Copies of this chain bind each other. A is one copy, B any other.
Amino acid sequence: MPSAYASHFGINNVPYGIASSTKRATPQAATRIGDEVIFLGPLAETGTFKHISAPLPEIFRQTALNAFAALPKDVQSQVRSTIQKAYSRGDYSSAAEPIGDVTLHLPVQIGDFTDFSASKDHVLNASEAVTGTRAYPPAFMKYPSVYAGRSSSIAVSPKPVVRPHGQFVEDYTVPQKTIIFGPCRALDYELEVGAVIGKPVEGGQMLKAADADAHIFGLVLVNDWSARDVQALEMNPLGPFNGKNFATTISPWIVTLEALKKFEVPAPPRDETVSSFIDDKNAVNYAINLEVQLKRNGATETTCRVGFETMYWTFRHMIAHHTIGGCELRTGDLVASGTVSGQGDDEHGCLLEQTFNGKRPKTLSNGTELRYLNDGDEVRFTGVAGLPEDGVGFGDCYGVVMPAREF
């Protein structure tokens, strides 16, 4: 019987990850087709890629995909089509193992992690939940909001997340001033998509949005776990820090822009004129159907269904903004979208929005009250581009909430 996500990994996907197994103890480059993981180093050794002028056998043996991600797009494209042909011919089985036999690792070494806030609905909903007013940040019509995240805390799914300690006001739902220390009481998920940088952007290169795709290797799902009470207190004046830096989870397979090409959809029109460097006549999003499933006390419920195509700012916009001051982007850097939310009641990519910062709790189908995450809650993101039969998905990005540490 195929696994839950076999259908995400059709022949038109060919994502890249880092895998190991009993037989292949050293983590190394791999792809997944259906429920088979194909190790690319061993595949290269059979001569499969010998027509491609790149040191692939060596690159595929590395413990992170950075060197592969930095290769020219046409080389990556040849690798993809060669894998597809080898699979179709059946010339790959000595390099393949069942998905159940492998362990997946962080696919790239991530130098810097940047987290944007690119969804209009998220910005407005979060603003209302926290301040009572639906308002865009002062510059939101000119560029997406953004902060630098923590790269040391990024782990690959399915890493458990320990409820963090922190300092916060005693009751995060009402304005008051008593600051206490203890385990977070408002633990949240954030449904995001992340772009992994391929070809680096040199310091001072100052990209235009229209040219940014050349630097994106592919996309992953991202859970930007958030301690809302900790975050609320620290945000003024320098933005989120301990409210975010305890854990970020990404899905293990990087889906390339080439695989996603078919699912490009025009980005929403601009509400205001924007600066020429960030203006992108052909701005595109990707039609990716995202879902959040929350499992509590044995019962699973879908708490969010939203399309990634709703995003106001696209990855091209984000990357152009990121580089316009001269900032370098290195291969493997992760640039995430911020919470993906739409207009509907079931399109909230985080609980801050969905439960109005805990002030308007929902009742789950099993009767329990949902404000924020409880210990033991399991959070699973999934993403499928286009229709299920297109066979291009992200698998899942999963985490279970563990109780706070003793302190």
CA distance A306 to B170 in the complex (A): 38
The yes or no answer to A167 lying at the interface (CB within 8 A) is: yes
CA distance A184 to B234 in the complex (A): 28
CA distance A203 to B161 in the complex (A): 11
A148 close to B146 (CB less than 8 A) = no
Nearest-neighbor residue (CB-CB) of A169 within chain B: B138
B325 close to A166 (CB less than 8 A) = yes
A152 close to B405 (CB less than 8 A) = no
The yes or no answer to A149 lying at the interface (CB within 8 A) is: yes
A 97-120 contacts with B by CB, 8 A = 111-112, 114, 117
A 165-182 contacts with B by CB, 8 A = 165-167, 177, 179, 181
A150 close to B152 (CB less than 8 A) = no
Report A191-227 CB contacts with B as 1/0, cut-off 8 Å.
0000000000001101000000000000000000001
Q: By CB atoms of chain B within 10 A, which of A111, A167, A184, A237 has the most?
A: A237
CA distance A184 to B242 in the complex (A): 30
Q: By CB atoms of chain B within 10 A, which of A117, A142, A184, A326 has the most?
A: A326
| B-chain residues with CB within 8 Å of residue A148 when the two chains form the complex | 147-150, 241, 245
Which of B137, B138, B236, B243 touches A138 (beta carbons < 8 Å)? B236
| B-chain residues with CB within 8 Å of residue A167 when the two chains form the complex | 139, 142-143, 275, 324
Interface with B: A86-94, A262-270, A327-335, which one? A327-335
A246 close to B151 (CB less than 8 A) = no
Chain multiplicity (copies) = 2
The yes or no answer to A153 lying at the interface (CB within 8 A) is: yes
The yes or no answer to A399 lying at the interface (CB within 8 A) is: no
The yes or no answer to A230 lying at the interface (CB within 8 A) is: yes
The yes or no answer to A233 lying at the interface (CB within 8 A) is: yes
Which of B137, B164, B165, B242 touches A237 (beta carbons < 8 Å)? B137
Q: Which size bracket describes the interface of A in this complex?
A: 35 or more
Report A301-331 CB contacts with B as 1/0, cut-off 8 Å.
0000000000000000000011011111110
The yes or no answer to A252 lying at the interface (CB within 8 A) is: no
- Tell me how far the C-beta of A94 lies from the nearest C-beta in chain B, rounded to whole angstroms: 37
CA distance A69 to B32 in the complex (A): 40
B242 close to A321 (CB less than 8 A) = yes
B239 close to A327 (CB less than 8 A) = no
CA distance A289 to B222 in the complex (A): 45
B111 close to A327 (CB less than 8 A) = no
Q: Do A324 and B275 contact each other (CB < 8 Å), given the known contacts A147-B239, A233-B139?
A: no
- Tell me how far the C-beta of A275 lies from the nearest C-beta in chain B, rounded to whole angstroms: 4
- Tell me how far the C-beta of A13 lies from the nearest C-beta in chain B, rounded to whole angstroms: 30
| B-chain residues with CB within 8 Å of residue A151 when the two chains form the complex | 111-112, 151
Nearest-neighbor residue (CB-CB) of A405 within chain B: B204
A327 close to B152 (CB less than 8 A) = yes
Which of B181, B235, B325 touches A275 (beta carbons < 8 Å)? B181
- Tell me how far the C-beta of A71 lies from the nearest C-beta in chain B, rounded to whole angstroms: 20
Interface residues of A (CB under 8 A from B): 111-112, 114, 117, 137-139, 142-143, 145-153, 162, 164-167, 177, 179, 181, 184, 203-204, 206, 227, 230, 233-243, 245-247, 275-277, 321-322, 324-330, 333, 405, 407
Since A112-B152, A142-B167 are in contact, a sample of 7 more A-B pairs with Cβ atoms closer than 8 Å, ordered by chain A residue number, is: A145-B234, A162-B326, A165-B206, A227-B325, A235-B237, A239-B240, A277-B407
Kindly list the 9 A-B residue pairs having the minimum CB-CB distance in the complex, ordered from nearest: A239-B239, A164-B325, A147-B238, A181-B275, A148-B148, A242-B325, A246-B326, A246-B325, A238-B239
